Amino acid sequence: MADDKKNPLGPTGNQVRTNVERVRETRGLTKKQLADRVAELGRPIPPLGISRIEAGTRRVDADDLVALAVALNVSPLALLLPADEGPDPYISLTDRVAVTLSRAWKWARGERALSIAPGEEPSADQQDAFARISQSARQRYVKDQPAGRAVDALHGEVYRLVEISGVSTEAVDEEFSRRLASVRVWLDRVSVEVQQAAAEHDELAKEARTVKAERLRPEST
């Protein structure tokens, strides 16, 4: 307890405790039931511990966070960040770093590097370095393929298009028209790249069948 007073919870710690309580209640679980679930996962936290977590008097370490996320059937990110709903407010990640909620989620999902300086965007090199460490090898492989890059670009345009679709101002209307045109371009590009990927796969499959047939062909005497 003394350590907690010397080093109180920061904004993320407070968000975790708020989310644990919110998700637990959404799931219809009592503190005892949640405690039983995490105990079954090999990370015992007694009901009193759950109460202290939600009150902010017990810290949640990395192992606790994962066990609670598994027990509550949510991503760990759903406990670390506010729900991505409604407006896009600024939230504090640390006592000195605040970003918009949508940017925080993109950063946490490994989609977009974080720029700490207000108004600055990460450079292409910074984004590439961020992605190569923050994403799995499979994610990087897919995103490095032409079809993957096209889908990634389309995703970003559609996300923003939907995000602003419920607002109408002169500036937003102009952006909406621009994004809509971009979505149509990327849809065509995705179609082309997917067809190319399918053609390449068909060629590989044809070669594999030829090799297999050669192996099965009886040797001439």
Residue-wise burial string across 162-200, b where 16 or more C-beta atoms lie within 10 A, e elsewhere: eeeeeeeeeeeeeebeebeebbeebeebbeebeeeeeee
DSSP 65: H
Q: Exposed (0-12), middle (13-18) or buried (19+): which is 127, by Cβ within 10 Å?
A: middle
- Distance of alpha carbon 42 from alpha carbon 95, whole angstroms: 33
Q: Do 149 and 208 have their domain in common?
A: yes
Domain of 116 in residue numbering reads as 84-135
CATH of the domain at 8: 1.10.260.40
Considering the entire predicted model, what is its pTM? Answer: 0.75
User: Could you read off the pLDDT of 202-212 as tens digits, one per residue?
Assistant: 999 999 999 88
Whether residue 107 is found in the same domain as residue 68 = no
State whether 75 and 110 are in the same domain: no
The vertex-93 CA angle with 91 and 97, nearest 5°, equals: 90
pLDDT band of residue 34 (cuts 50, 70, 90) is very high
Could you identify the residue written with the tokens 């790249």? Answer: 193
Q: Are residues 95 and 73 in the same domain?
A: no
Same domain, 217 and 144: yes
Q: Identify the pLDDT of residue 54.
A: 97
More confident residue, 51 or 137: 51
Cβ neighbours, 10 Å, residue 82: 15
What is the pLDDT at residue 220?
63
Output 197-204 pairs: Cβ under 8 A, ≥24 positions apart: 197/145, 197/146, 197/147
The CA-to-CA distance between both ends of the chain, in Å, stands at: 86
Which one of 118, 135, 152 terminates a domain?
135
The candidate with the shortest Cα–Cα distance to 21, out of 68, 76, 64, 67, is 68
Do 151 and 174 lie in a common domain?
yes
Q: Last residue of a domain, which of 135, 157, 177?
A: 135
pLDDT tens-digit series, residues 43-62 = 999 999 999 999 999 999 99
Farthest CA pair distance, the chain: 88
75: pLDDT strictly greater than 90: yes
Rounded mean pLDDT, 195-221: 86
| CB 99 within 8 Å of CB 51 | no
| Same domain for 126 and 105 | yes
